[in-house]
Amino acid sequence: AATHCLIIDVDLRSHENNLVHHTWEIDRERLIVRRGQPFSITLQFSDSLPLRHHLELVLHLGKRDEMVIKVQKERGAGDKWWFNQLETQGEILLTLHSPADAIIGSYRLAVLLMSPDGHILEEMDKFKFHLLFNPWCKDDAVGLPDDSLLQEYVMNEHGAIFMGAWDNIKSIPWNYGQFEDNVMDICFEILDNSKDALRNSKMDIENRSDPVYVGRIITAMVNSNGDRGVLTGRWQEPYSGGVAPYRWTGSVPILRQWSNAGVRAVRYGQCWVFAGVACTVLRCLGIPTRLITNFSSAHDVDGNLSVDFLFDENFKSIDGRGRNDSSWNFHCWVESWMMRDDLPKGNDGWQVLDPTPQELSDGEFCCGPCPVTAIKEGNLGVKYDAPFVFAEVNADVIYWMVQQDGQWKKIRVDQSGVGRNISTKSVYGDQREDVTLHYKYPEGSTKEREVYEKAGRRATEPSNLITEPVQVQLSIKHPNPVFGTDFDVIIEVRRNEGGRDTDAQLTMLATAVTYNSLPRGDCHRKKISVNVPAHQTHKEVLRLHYDDYVKCVSGHHLIRVKAFLEVQGENEPIMAVANIPLSTPELLVQVPGKAFLQEQVTAHISFTNPLPVPLKGGVFTAEGAGLLQATEIPVDGDISPGQNVSVKLSFLPMRTGVRKLLVDFDSDRLKDVKGVATVVVRKRYTPLIMGFH
């Protein structure tokens, strides 16, 4: 006969469990734990358990209970869930142990009270908890045995993203916000909306124990190509019907917008936005992740491990039937830490994951996880997408002239121009850490050339190139100009050898380009005859005016200058290329005084218009993990040249700790102006009066 209700209360002990499982920042009320690490819950009984009655625990996973797991009563094999119990004064302390390769996700726990003959006398199944990857557990595939790395690559909600050019690197702050309200739920919503989950939810749930599988799903789902993904990419204006990529300062508004719109893609992203969102999702799920910037990054469309640029005989670029190789000024992806059984020994755990939609991989727009070590060693047979990633950091750049008879003539080969200053944020602050040597041996070293051969690269045959020493050298020198000013670019022609003076034709071309090489129009073109005297340098000045370049320059303010020199009596023209990023001013963001939890703080934001023209439609956007949700402050009226604008912003900090307030300024002519301030949020302790609170 059924007894009266014995189980009267259950305490999931969320506070204590979340604290030791490093999930305290995500939520204090819900139970969120990490796999491979025990957690305890308490059951209260109205009476002590009748003799020989016992408890059984059953776990349910999936929206339709696709998986049911019976928790064993005592420690079994290491790959099973098990529990033990401790009974004291009408309470039972249950400690659950999950395997280090358990499935991540949302679990429902049923507690069954069983009679000696195996009948269910009572059942309570209202308990829900979330299980995440556990980088603190050495047996978990994402286990990372270094506390400072865990602090940075899992727990840090603030980042710095490097961009610009390899010889002029700047950084912008980024708010990952992986522990902000609802972000974890949105991360699981992303997994639930993948093609695999919609096709076969039981199989998808089983695969969620594997970080390689989860990482691959996330890179496919961060872009919206071919699925219900988060972000739509767009690489040139207009950005109508959405937000221009350079206006975002963090991932949280993007993730919330996607979820609130009923999993409709958010417009628009470019590589650093895709990478920023992927970093948020992976860190939130417990996979250690860092954002990487590769300068002079090759996009090899045809898979021949070289990037081919074509010109006609007037040095105008030729479109290769819409399938152009390109060299991006910079390109961002993420590296996640996961040990893989399918790799030979000697591979560490860093894997490249690239969520920017570029080329298909097994029919999906995703890339990776690809082991960084495999790229360095030229082992291109490993999964996933190793040849593509290898080309991004190692391709040769070849410039060809297509002659009128259709023949291709090689003008210049650059074997060391791709994959420079590969960068990530340091564990010890916002400064840059160079990780180029993780991806390749020193440029030009014997070992690096051996890796080329091993990777199946055909070394560029020197027979196509001029083998005798180059008698004339061409170089481009430029300042670090500020957007809004006129500036000079100097093209130098130097003759090394003796002998007679030489006549030559010099063509100089300044083109505005996007950071991923889409030409935006010519700002200046000049062709002149020059005389190159022996042992001397001839200088030509190309003056670039704001009024000319502002018409075509993109949001990235990048100008590419090319110079071609056709020397009399020489077969091939000589060529030089320089990328010139135009710098923009910074915002001044100050937060005076001390900041306390849930007490008003005021930030002062100011900006001076550096341009010779007024700015219209100015708007500041501020956000910060633990400080405030994304907030817009429009500027009244136009901002005239040299005018200073300052605004105040008040908010109530939501979480304690070292926080970053990120501000972006946008207007019709000046975009992507960023500023940041550090805010330390404390708890205010009220003194106890007479020993009572």
Binding site members: 394, 396, 443, 448
| 66 Cβ neighbours under 8 A, 6+ residues apart | 201, 202, 205
Could you confirm whether 332 is annotated as catalytic? no
* Residues 522, 146: Cα–Cα separation, whole Å: 50
Tokens matching residue 121: 């006398």
**Three-state secondary-structure class, residue 296:** strand
Question: DSSP per residue over 563-629, as a string?
Answer: EEEEETT-SSPEEEEEEEEPB----EEE--S-EETTS-EEEEEEEE--SSS-B-S-EEEEEETTTEE
Question: DSSP per residue over 196-224, as a string?
Answer: HHHH-HHHHHHHTT-HHHHHHHHHHHHB-
* Residues 164, 420: Cα–Cα separation, whole Å: 12
Choose, from 227, 354, 666, 672, the residue flagged as catalytic.
354
- For 519, the enclosing helix (H) or strand (E) is strand 519-532
Listed residue (354, 227, 311) closest to 575, CA to CA: 311
Q: What's the number of CA atoms in the CB half-sphere (13 Å) around residue 646?
A: 9
**What phi and psi values does residue 350 have, to the nearest 5 degrees?**
-70, 130
* Residues 211, 101: Cα–Cα separation, whole Å: 9
Choose, from 97, 130, 331, 557, the residue flagged as catalytic.
331
Listed residue (602, 609, 606) closest to 588, CA to CA: 606
* Residues 230, 189: Cα–Cα separation, whole Å: 11
Could you confirm whether 354 is annotated as catalytic? yes
Listed residue (171, 173, 156) closest to 622, CA to CA: 173
Tokens matching residue 621: 């956007």
Query: Could you check whether the bond before residue 268 is cis, i.e. omega within 30 degrees of 0?
Result: yes
Q: By the 8 A CB rule, do 110 and 57 touch?
A: yes
420, 458, 481, 617 from 451: Cα distances, Å: 17, 11, 39, 53
Choose, from 22, 137, 187, 271, the residue flagged as catalytic.
271
The distance of Cα 35 from the centroid of its chain, to the nearest Å, equals: 25
Helices (H), 135-210: 147-150, 183-192, 195-199, 201-207
* Residues 661, 630: Cα–Cα separation, whole Å: 10
Q: What's the number of CA atoms in the CB half-sphere (13 Å) around residue 100?
A: 12
Radius of gyration over every alpha carbon of the chain, rounded to an integer in angstroms:
30
- For 101, the enclosing helix (H) or strand (E) is none
∠ Cα 486 492 494 (to 5°): 175
* Residues 245, 249: Cα–Cα separation, whole Å: 9
Find the Cα–Cα–Cα–Cα dihedral 107, 110, 111, 113, rounded to 10°: -160
* Binding site members for Ca(2+): 394, 396, 443, 448
Q: By the 8 A CB rule, do 79 and 101 touch?
A: yes
Q: By the 8 A CB rule, do 237 and 259 touch?
A: no
* Residues 674, 119: Cα–Cα separation, whole Å: 65
Residue with tokens 């591979």: 347
Burial class (CB in 10 A: 0-12, 13-18, 19+), 60: middle
* Residues 660, 390: Cα–Cα separation, whole Å: 35
Could you confirm whether 65 is annotated as catalytic? no
| 631 Cβ neighbours under 8 A, 6+ residues apart | 621, 622, 623, 649, 651
* Residues 203, 494: Cα–Cα separation, whole Å: 66
**What phi and psi values does residue 374 have, to the nearest 5 degrees?**
-65, -35
Tokens matching residue 35: 């796999």
Tokens matching residue 205: 């749930």
Please give the positions annotated as active site. Answer: 271, 331, 354
